[in-house]
């Protein structure tokens, strides 16, 4: 390198420095000016104080964004559709000014953190998050909170203390399955348990619910347990593999998304069809309805409804309105009973999942319940919502 | 051409960055504030550091396909070992830098293609990261989090850090004596050898320095995101190469520009934000970043041709 060349490079560098300094000077000028242009983050920051004031302010000028990490399965598609159909009327009637949904291209926490920071810059008053990571977004979430933006996480929650967390009760899901079996088989039964992705929070929690509830029913026995990974094909293979070595099976407990695979395995083995607990996948429900028509087959479906996104939306709206909302909310599980089956099925497109619609009133009731339980138990929140567990990946994979 | 003129080709990184910055400010005036500039650029700091690491390797006519995996591994070490046993953590990081240096010596000694060796190493780094951290998580050391969220009086952290990185890299690579020798390695390694330098040592030094910048990238990443995972920085490999090229670097001949590389990294992330502000779907963002790269390279080709004619 000649000194001449070197010198020129150095000059280019100097110019770069000069420009950056100019940019800095510009920022120093606009730092004050920005505060005057509504609604700057600085101004939004003022609103955190509003929350301490008693009740509901108008949210007509508030903008809410959905930051979603993944859209590649039926559950997520239904979740986005629910957000769209349920928030559009709220925007139309002027409850909020905007409710825009953004999904990142790849399920990467780094991408989602950048997206959240861009949403802060765009001046959204609240950001609703289905997170790619429970912990890796905490930096960006903290930036949002510091800028006065309300952050509500659901399904895939974040652990940042300033964010609201909305989850399903997977432990209850396990308990309800056992309760149903106890009702169907008061004289005792052999049960087969199909488990989800090993090592995930959802699998552990749901299994623990089953184990805990089984203690109340000594006549129910789990004779075998297989790993189905929340996928039909994996489940069918696993169940077909163990069936020859098993005694008569009366019922099958599972975690959602496996029921159709279980049914296929039993049909192939020529065994009597057990009572299978279903979830909200359309193919399972269709099979259930067909069996019911043919031979009066009876069961129940339990699942986590994608409509939880709408709960998160209304929670964000209530917080923006100044309401004091508990940081942890548990959304009830979605049940489809035998008598509702045909109606639910009629509304569920092929290849999709059935969904539960949460209205604003439902969400207000949820908030009140959470407040009541919070008041009765001063120690905050169910432990599972705080658990830095693998909820996001797990919850998203729960769905086939 | 006179001694004092600056060729437009060298100004290109600055021009492309300025154009995007002005467009961003025009679209989103909130970005034009202390807080805004920080939000716009803070997540780019680790990428800028990784880009300087990549630049060092490209400077000696090699290419490093393991940057992303290496930074991820460093992040995993930082968010677990460095928090629980600081001494052991620092030792591990020093070990990683030494491993990088050894790799450089090895690549030169046996005349191995760096592209293959680093590709292979990326799987080793990735595997180690998975051993340390099977599932994403971990925490940031307190001091690191404090450092990455510091609010300096005049300019936001992101801008100060970018200036510091650019200045330090410029002094090290363009101004210092050893930097000149290392650049000579990419220009004509034989003449460097004739001048009495031990080439293996120089390659080891180059790779070792790249390792240091990789470690810095991992540290800042954890400070910003507060946790890590085995593939948290997987996109850094391509981003760092793109940053170097966008910043005026060439794949051969030791022609690189550290300041340009930092600007290149900032430009790439700015392109992402700009597209978000324009409400363009994220599906298009990777493609759009590629388009920016092609545009800048096309412009550079034009300038180079004209320079050649003059």
Q: What is the CATH number of the domain that holds B284?
A: 1.10.3470
Residue-wise pLDDT for B237-292, tens only, equals 999 999 999 998 888 888 899 999 999 999 988 988 998 898 887 777 777 778 87
Q: Which of A28-32, A163-167, B107-111 has the lowest mean pLDDT?
A: A28-32
B25 vs A29, more confident: B25
A120 and A109 housed in the same domain: yes
The average confidence (pLDDT) of chain A is 82
Q: Distance (Å, rounded) from C-alpha A367 to C-alpha B290? A: 46
Total number of domains in chain A = 2
Decide if A58 is inside a domain. Answer: no
The residue written with tokens 């949002």 in the block is A144
* A399 DSSP assignment: -
A215 and A282 housed in the same domain: yes
Decide if B163 is inside a domain. Answer: yes
Closest CA to A97 of A119, A74, A126, A54: A126
Q: What is the signed CA dihedral for A351, A356, A360, A364, rounded to 10 degrees?
A: -140
Decide if B2 is inside a domain. Answer: no
Helix (H) or strand (E) holding A127: strand A126-130
A261, A285, A303 - which closes a domain: A303
Q: Distance (Å, rounded) from C-alpha B98 to C-alpha A186? A: 68
Decide if A50 is inside a domain. Answer: no
Decide if B49 is inside a domain. Answer: yes
Region B184-212 average pLDDT: 93
Question: For residue A237, how many other CB atoms are within 10 A of its CB?
Answer: 15
Decide if A97 is inside a domain. Answer: yes
- Which chain B residues contact residue A37 at CB under 8 A? 29-30
Q: What is the CATH number of the domain that holds A110?
A: 3.40.50.2300
A87 and A98 housed in the same domain: yes
A181 and A154 housed in the same domain: no
Residue-wise pLDDT for A59-107, tens only, equals 999 999 999 988 877 888 899 999 999 999 999 999 999 999 999 877 7
Closest CA to B220 of B81, B71, B54, B35: B71
Region B120-136 average pLDDT: 93
A124 and A101 housed in the same domain: yes
Cβ pair B229:A109 closer than 8 A: yes
Tokens of A121: 């810059």
Cβ pair B277:A123 closer than 8 A: no
pLDDT at position A350: 86
Q: Which residue of A has its CA nearest to B27?
A: A122
pLDDT at position A217: 95
Cα torsion angle, A271, A273, A277, A278, sign: positive
Q: Percentage of chain A surpassing pLDDT 70?
A: 80
pLDDT at position A309: 95
A192 and A135 housed in the same domain: no
- Give A156 to chain B, closest Cα distance, Å: 13
A178 and A274 housed in the same domain: yes
Decide if B205 is inside a domain. Answer: yes
CA-only gyration radius of chain A, Å: 25
Q: Would you say residue A325 has pLDDT above 60?
A: yes
* A333 DSSP assignment: P
Question: For residue B199, how many other CB atoms are within 10 A of its CB?
Answer: 16
Decide if B87 is inside a domain. Answer: yes
A69 and A121 housed in the same domain: yes
Decide if A207 is inside a domain. Answer: yes
Decide if B310 is inside a domain. Answer: no
A282, A303, A324 - which closes a domain: A303
- Give B178 to chain A, closest Cα distance, Å: 13
Of A9, A34, A143, nearest to B30 by CB-CB distance is A34
Helix (H) or strand (E) holding A63: strand A63-68
Decide if B308 is inside a domain. Answer: no
Decide if B4 is inside a domain. Answer: no
Q: Would you say residue B178 has pLDDT above 60?
A: yes
Q: Would you say residue A9 has pLDDT above 60?
A: no
- Give B34 to chain A, closest Cα distance, Å: 6
pLDDT at position B5: 58
Q: Name the residue range of residue A297's domain.
A: 170-303
A297 and A199 housed in the same domain: yes
Of A6, A118, A139, nearest to B273 by CB-CB distance is A118
Q: List the single best residue of B36, B79, B278 to mutate versus A (max A Cβ within 10 A).
A: B36
Cβ pair A27:B34 closer than 8 A: yes
pLDDT at position A16: 44
Of A1, A20, A135, nearest to B183 by CB-CB distance is A1
Contact present, A305 and A279 (Cβ < 8 Å) = no
pLDDT at position A392: 38
Residues listed for chain A: 400
Cβ pair A13:B174 closer than 8 A: yes
Region B208-215 average pLDDT: 98
Region B46-50 average pLDDT: 97
Cβ pair A26:B175 closer than 8 A: no
Decide if A158 is inside a domain. Answer: yes
Total number of domains in chain B = 1
Decide if A283 is inside a domain. Answer: yes
Question: For residue A191, how many other CB atoms are within 10 A of its CB?
Answer: 23
Q: Would you say residue A381 has pLDDT above 50?
A: no
Give the pLDDT band of residue A6 (cuts 50, 70, 90): very low
Contact present, B305 and B25 (Cβ < 8 Å) = no
Count chain A–chain B contacts defined by CB atoms under 8 A.
Answer: 168
What distances in angstroms separate CA B124 from CA A59, B73, B133, one per listed residue?
52, 10, 14
A262 and A292 housed in the same domain: yes
pLDDT at position B6: 66
Q: Would you say residue A55 has pLDDT above 60?
A: no
A293 and A324 housed in the same domain: no
pLDDT at position B4: 53
- Give A133 to chain B, closest Cα distance, Å: 7
Q: Would you say residue B138 has pLDDT above 70?
A: yes
Cβ pair A104:B282 closer than 8 A: yes
A363 and A242 housed in the same domain: no
A88 vs A377, more confident: A88
Q: Percentage of chain B surpassing pLDDT 70?
A: 97
Of B11, B18, B226, nearest to A135 by CB-CB distance is B226
Give the pLDDT band of residue A34 (cuts 50, 70, 90): very low
Cβ pair B155:A24 closer than 8 A: yes
- Which chain A residues contact residue B273 at CB under 8 A? 114, 118, 121
Q: Which residue of B has its CA nearest to A8?
A: B6
Angle between helices B67-79 and B199-225 (to 10 degrees): 60
Q: Which residues face A191 on adjacent strands?
A: A222, A251
Decide if A81 is inside a domain. Answer: yes
Roughly how many angstroms between the first and final C-alpha of chain B, as a whole number? 8
Decide if A104 is inside a domain. Answer: yes
- Which chain A residues contact residue B224 at CB under 8 A? 113, 139
- Give B10 to chain A, closest Cα distance, Å: 7
Q: Name the residue range of residue B268's domain.
A: 9-302
pLDDT at position A77: 87
């Amino acid at each position: 390198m000649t000194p001449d060349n070197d010198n020129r490079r150095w000059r280019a560098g100097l110019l770069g420095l000069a420009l950056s300094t100019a940019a800095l000077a510009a920022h120093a000028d606009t730092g004050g000016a920005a505060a005057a242009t509504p609604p700057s983050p600085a101004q939004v920051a003022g609103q955190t104080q509003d929350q301490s004031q008693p009740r509901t302010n108008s949210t007509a000028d508030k903008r809410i964004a959905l930051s979603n990490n993944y859209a590649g399965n039926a559950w997520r598609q239904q979740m986005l559709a629910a957000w769209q159909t349920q928030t559009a009327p709220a925007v139309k009637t002027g409850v909020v000014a905007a409710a825009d949904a953004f999904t990142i291209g790849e399920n990467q926490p780094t991408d989602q953190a950048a997206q959240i920071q861009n949403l802060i810059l765009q001046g959204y008053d609240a950001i609703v998050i289905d997170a790619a990571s429970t912990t890796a977004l905490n930096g960006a979430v903290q930036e949002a909170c510091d800028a006065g933006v309300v952050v509500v996480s659901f399904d895939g929650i974040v652990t940042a203390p300033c964010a609201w967390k909305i989850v399903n009760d997977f432990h209850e899901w396990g308990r309800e399955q056992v309760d149903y079996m106890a009702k169907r088989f008061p004289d005792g039964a052999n049960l087969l348990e199909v488990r989800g992705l090993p090592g995930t929070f959802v699998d552990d929690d749901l299994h623990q619910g089953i184990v805990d509830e089984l203690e109340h029913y000594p006549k129910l026995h789990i004779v075998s347990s297989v790993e189905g990974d929340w996928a039909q094909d994996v489940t069918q293979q696993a169940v077909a593999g163990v069936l020859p070595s098993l005694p008569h099976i009366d019922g099958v407990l599972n975690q959602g998304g496996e029921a159709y695979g279980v049914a296929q395995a039993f049909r192939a083995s020529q065994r009597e069809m057990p009572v299978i607990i279903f979830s909200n996948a359309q193919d399972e429900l269709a099979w259930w309805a067909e069996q019911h028509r043919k031979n009066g087959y009876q069961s129940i479906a339990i699942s986590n409804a994608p409509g939880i996104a709408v709960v998160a939306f209304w929670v964000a709206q209530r917080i923006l309105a100044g309401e004091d909302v508990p940081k942890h909310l548990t959304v009830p599980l979605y049940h489809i009973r035998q008598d509702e089956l045909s109606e639910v099925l009629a509304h569920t497109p092929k290849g999709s999942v059935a969904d539960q619609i949460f209205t604003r009133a439902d969400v207000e009731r949820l908030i009140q319940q959470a407040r009541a339980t919070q008041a009765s138990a001063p120690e905050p929140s169910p432990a599972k919502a705080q658990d830095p567990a693998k909820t996001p990946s797990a919850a998203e994979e729960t769905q086939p | 051409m006179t001694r004092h003129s600056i060729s437009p080709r060298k100004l290109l990184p600055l021009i492309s960055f300025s154009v995007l910055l002005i467009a961003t400010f025009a679209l989103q005036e909130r970005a034009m504030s202390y807080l805004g500039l920080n939000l716009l650029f803070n997540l780019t700091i680790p990428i800028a550091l990784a880009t300087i690491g990549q630049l060092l390797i490209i400077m000696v006519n090699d290419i490093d396909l393991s940057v992303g995996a290496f930074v991820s591994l460093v992040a995993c070490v930082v968010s677990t070992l460095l928090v629980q046993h600081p001494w052991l953590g620092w030792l591990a990081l020093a070990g990683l830098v030494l491993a990088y240096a050894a790799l450089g010596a090895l690549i030169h000694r046996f005349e191995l293609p760096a592209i293959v060796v680093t590709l292979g190493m990326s799987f080793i780094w990735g595997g180690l990261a998975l051993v340390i951290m099977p599932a994403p998580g971990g925490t940031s050391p307190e001091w690191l989090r404090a450092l990455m969220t510091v609010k300096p009086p005049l300019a936001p952290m992101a801008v100060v850090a970018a200036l510091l990185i650019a200045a330090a890299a410029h002094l090290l690579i363009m101004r210092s004596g050893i930097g000149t020798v290392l650049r000579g390695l990419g220009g004509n390694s034989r003449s460097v050898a004739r001048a009495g330098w031990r080439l293996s040592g120089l390659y080891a030094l180059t790779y070792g320095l790249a390792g240091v910048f990789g470690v810095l990238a991992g540290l800042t990443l954890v400070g910003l995101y507060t946790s890590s995972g085995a593939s948290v920085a997987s996109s850094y490999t391509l981003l760092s190469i793109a940053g170097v090229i966008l910043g005026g670097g060439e794949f051969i001949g030791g022609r690189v520009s550290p300041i340009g590389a930092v600007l290149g990294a900032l430009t790439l992330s700015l392109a992402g934000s700009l597209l978000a502000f324009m409400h363009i779907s994220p599906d298009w963002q990777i493609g759009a970043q590629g388009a920016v790269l092609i545009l800048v390279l096309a412009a550079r080709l034009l300038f180079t041709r004209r320079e050649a004619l003059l």
